[in-house]
Each structure stands twice: as C-alpha cells, then as structure tokens.
Chain A
Amino acid sequence: MNRRDFMSKTTLGALTVAVGAPVVYGHLMPNGYKPLALQDPDPFSLFKKDKEMKVLNDRPWNIEARAHLLNDKITPNHSMFIRNNGLLPENIDIKQWTLTIDGESVTEQKTYTLDELKTRFKHHTYQLTLECAGNGRKEFNPPAKGNQWGLGAVHCCEWTGIRLRDVLDEVGINDAAVYIGYHAADIHLSRDPGKEPISRGVPMAKAYQEETLLAFQMNGEDIPMAHGYPLRLIAGGWPASASGKWINRISVRNQVHDGTKMTGKAYRVPCKPVAPGSEVKDEDMCIIESMPVKSLITYPRSGAILKSGQQLNINGHAWAGELEVSKMEYSIDFGATWKACDLEKPVNRLAWQHFSASVSFPEVGYYEVWARATDSKGRSQPMLLPGWNPKGYLNNACHRIAVKVS
C-alpha cells in the first residue's frame, strides 16, 4: 500500500474525528475528495529553495522570491518563483517521455521521444525573462482574486533547448495555423484525469521566434522538477504561464487556443480601460501578450541604515517584455527629480538588463529610492498602480526601497 492509498482510507475517518462532526454533505462530495490539509513536505528542501522565499500556497505550490534574492544576473534555482496550477506530475520516466505535435493545422500528427528531440535538432541557449502575469497582484485595490503575489514572481534563467519552429517545420503545418496550445503532465487539483490544470499557448508569430524554445536544460543542468522537468516550452517576455511546464503535447490550432486558462478572465485584461472594481464581461477581456516594462532594485534590501555622507550603491534588473529597456532612472524624492542609472544592453533579446547607480543623500532622514525603467517605445513604469483589472495582472508600478540616513 503506498502513502496515498493509506491516506485516502484514513483521512475521511480522521477528519470526522478531527472536526468533531460528520462531514455534512459528504454524499455530495465525489469519491476521492479528501478534506483536511495533510502535512506537506518542507518546500525549501523539496525544491532546494532559499529559506527566505515566501510560500503563498502549498497546494498547489506557489512560492515567490524577495527582491534581494534576485540579485544574480542569471537567476539560480534557489531564487526562482514557483507558480503551479495543479499538482506536480507523478512518476516521470524520461525514457518513456514523448512530445506529440497534433492539432487541426498539422499536415500529419507526429510523436518524438526526448532523445529524438535532443539529437535531431540544433541546440540553442538564451537568457529569458519569465514573469508571472499576476506579479504585483497584492497591491490592487479593490483586491483581485488569486495568489497575492508581491514582487518576486519573475526570473531570468539560461535556457537550453531546441527551437519550437524547427520542430514545427519538420512536422509541417498549413496556412490555417493561428495558435499553438501546450498540454502537460501535471494533475488537476481535483485529480480528475479528464481535466487539465492549465493549457495555454501563443500565436504562430511568437511560436516562430528564434528564442521560443522547447527547453530541456536550465542554467546548464536538467530543468528542476518544479520548473518543468523534463521538457518546458519557453516563450520569454510573455506571461510565464505561456511557458508550459512538463509538456508532452503541442496542438497547432486553426483558432485561438481554447485550453484551460486561455478563456474567461484568466490571463486576460479588459480590452478597454475600466474603473476600479468594475464588472467586466468575458467577451470584453483580451489575452495578455507581451509583458510591460518593469524593474527591480535587488541590492541593497529595503531597510538599510547609512551614515551621513555615505554613498549608496544600488543595482538591479530591468525588462520590457518583447521590447528592450532604453533608459533607467532612480529618484530619492518620490519622483520630483530623476537621475540616470548605468544600464547594460541585454545579453540577448528577451533577457533582463542590469543597472546600477551610486546614490548620495543631501541630509539625514528617511528616504525611498524609487526605480523607473523606460522601454524602447518611450513607455515608462507608472509610480502608482496601473489600470485596475479584475484578476490583478500587469502591475508594473515602480519598485522602491526604504533607506535611513542617520
């Protein structure tokens, strides 16, 4: 008997004891539903995460970084956020793992083993920024539904894999192709095998970009389990949910993909701006594509106390979805005046860029250092929250840290 069987047999009984009352409406609860939070293993050792990472949810796992944990130029696994929509896949056997390309718009359905993918196609490596569309949701007012991400749901790792377009070209797709949609091995929270926790995708133009990969390595090693082992679609600069983890099938669709979390309000914002708290009909919601310009001060951590006259060296990263960041500034007077930061070029398209500056303070007191990035089209980060939307996506308001000079 494995652990799960044992638990399912004992849990309902245990629950009745624990709650001190029979499970009312238990008969409406389909078989296999086990109330009661069972003690989950320690996520920090399970996923090799920094102890300072913040666990938002343990079932499914949703864990975010803090700004200062993201100081590395290439994000190490221990500082990468986890956004899972379902339960982790079970019993992954990489010898048996296959990727099927199917859908209305393929000439003929084709299945590859992992080995075939790795040996038949050329390998490419890129640093790619992935940010959860809901990063910063916590700040929206009125509050938006879902995990209340602060600012740590972003990373830029080095991904190695093959180009999705090389595979699509070999399979053969027709002119009617509009969108690709991924399917994966994760398990729906209700354990219903007929349901997918998430199945999103991108339009053909994004699927055909050079940097859009079927990745099997991250930072030079096998992709960690929580981040999509053994195969992950990577579409940098777009909501990270477009970069499907544990993928085993890609459908080439002759319509916008309609998988789980492509429709309704998921990963969509109102097509036209709305007042905070408005009710928005599903048909008035549009799919998020490129993420907006944004930046993070990753050094020092908020709360530094300096001596009068002491210079403060700050650094961090800036990114702009499909675009490049062309200007980076900081302010110590709440935006009244801005000064330029040094800004590096991206290592490759869709990689975040590094900035630094040396800040001096005119007198003792409480300060906030605000950072503001501007993209290549001249759009800057707002200082207040950007447009409210029902699910709280795309908060790219300026990051700030507190400093005291004494």
Chain B
Amino acid sequence: MKNEEHFIEQVKVIYRSLLWFCIVCFGLGFLILLIHFNPDLIKEEPTITAIEEEVSSDITETIRDSIHADTGLIKADGLTEVINNCTNCHSAKIIIQNRMTRENWLMSIRWMQETQNLWDLGENENIILDYLATHYAPKEKGRRENLIVEEWYVLEKGQ
C-alpha cells in the first residue's frame, strides 16, 4: 500500500515536471517565432539622435528603416536641417509629395522666402538642397503611366 502510494506520488511528480517542461518549451518556441517575424521587438526603441550616425551609410537598405517615423522624410544627411527649417509652417507631407531638380527646389525656397515669410537659411541652404535634390529628385514617368489597381475584386452580376 505504502509502496503503491509512493509510486503514485512519483508518477505525479514526473507528470508535473513533464507538463512544466512542455509549457516552457511551447512558450519558448512561441517567443522565438514571434521574434522571428517581428524582429523589432528586441531592438531598442530607435531614438532620433541615432539618425545622424546611422543614416550616412546606406539609405536604400530597406524603405521602412530609412524613413523618419514622425515626419515620413527619408533619413539621410540633412534631415535635421530640413526638419528644423521646413516643417514649421506646413507638415513634411508637402515635401514628400514633390519631386524636383536642385534648381527647382532652390526656386521653391526663393518663392517661399519672397512671398511666404521663409527666413534666410544661411549655410543650411546647401545642406537642405543637397538632401532634397538627392532624395526627392524627379523620375521619368512618360506621358501616361500604366494603371495601378489597388485591389482586384469580383463584381457579382446585377451589382
């Protein structure tokens, strides 16, 4: 009897240990999967100060990593100057939408200085122009582009 009780007790201990082992394995597996699909989870919260060091290297690595979250501007040399001087009146969205040559960016700046109260940019002007002309340059799109379909859907008869 005693032996039997002891045996049952031992089985229970093994059972519990196994159960815990399974739970831990399962949990670990889950975590690994999560991190695999979501590598950001273990990365440190990126700070804006990091931009300057990080950026000069390669801005084409991945689009997501090269965009400054608050403004949507491309992270690269000159970003700080652009944020400081170009997002005061309007948001950066008006910059991001546009594509211009260096000459035309300069013309836009002169227009804002003459008519819209934009200040003298001092030696930042060249930094800003380099940034804009490099990252927001025009690209050829011909006289009419192909249609881009956001989503194909089935249109039922009689709809």
Residues of A bordering B, CB below 8 Å: 15, 18-21, 23-26, 28-30, 33-37, 40, 55-60, 139, 141-143, 145-148, 188-190, 192, 195, 260, 264, 300-307, 310, 312, 368, 383-385, 397, 400-402, 404
Contacts and interface: CB of A to CB of B under 8 A. Distances in A.
A225 B144 CA distance: 36
Contacts of A384: 143-144
Given A23-B84, A303-B150, 5 more contacts: A55-B93, A57-B91, A141-B141, A189-B90, A190-B116
A305 B143 contact: no
B13 interface: no
A19 B80 contact: yes
B153 A37 contact: no
A354 to B, nearest CB: 19
A26 B84 CA distance: 8
Interface in B75-93: 80-81, 83-85, 87-93
B94 interface: yes
A20 B49 contact: yes
Contacts of A189: 89-90, 116
Residue with the highest number of chain B CB atoms closer than 10 Å, among A264, A304, A385: A304
A15 B83 CA distance: 10
Interface stretch (B25-33, B36-44, B58-66, B95-103): B95-103
B157 A310 contact: yes
Contacts of B45: none
B84 A19 contact: yes
B124 A25 contact: yes
Contact of A60 (B51, B90, B108, B155): B90
B interface, by DSSP: helix, strand, loop or mixed? Answer: loop
B155 A305 contact: yes
A305 B84 contact: no
A57 B140 contact: no
Nearest to B140: A141
Given A189-B116, A305-B154, A368-B147, A143 B99 contact: yes
A38 B71 CA distance: 10
Contacts of B48: 18-20
B152 A305 contact: yes
Contacts of A146: 98
Contacts of A36: 70, 83, 87
13 contacts: A19-B48, A20-B49, A21-B52, A24-B84, A35-B85, A55-B93, A56-B97, A143-B141, A192-B117, A300-B159, A301-B153, A368-B147, A400-B147
Nearest to B121: A25
Contacts of A400: 147
Nearest to B94: A57
A305 B153 CA distance: 6
B145 interface: yes
Interface string B113-143: 0011101111010000000000000101111
A401 to B, nearest CB: 8
B1 interface: no
A383 B144 contact: yes
Given A18-B48, A21-B80, A145-B104, A57 B144 contact: no
A402 B147 contact: yes
B84 A35 contact: yes
Given A57-B94, A59-B91, A188 B117 contact: yes
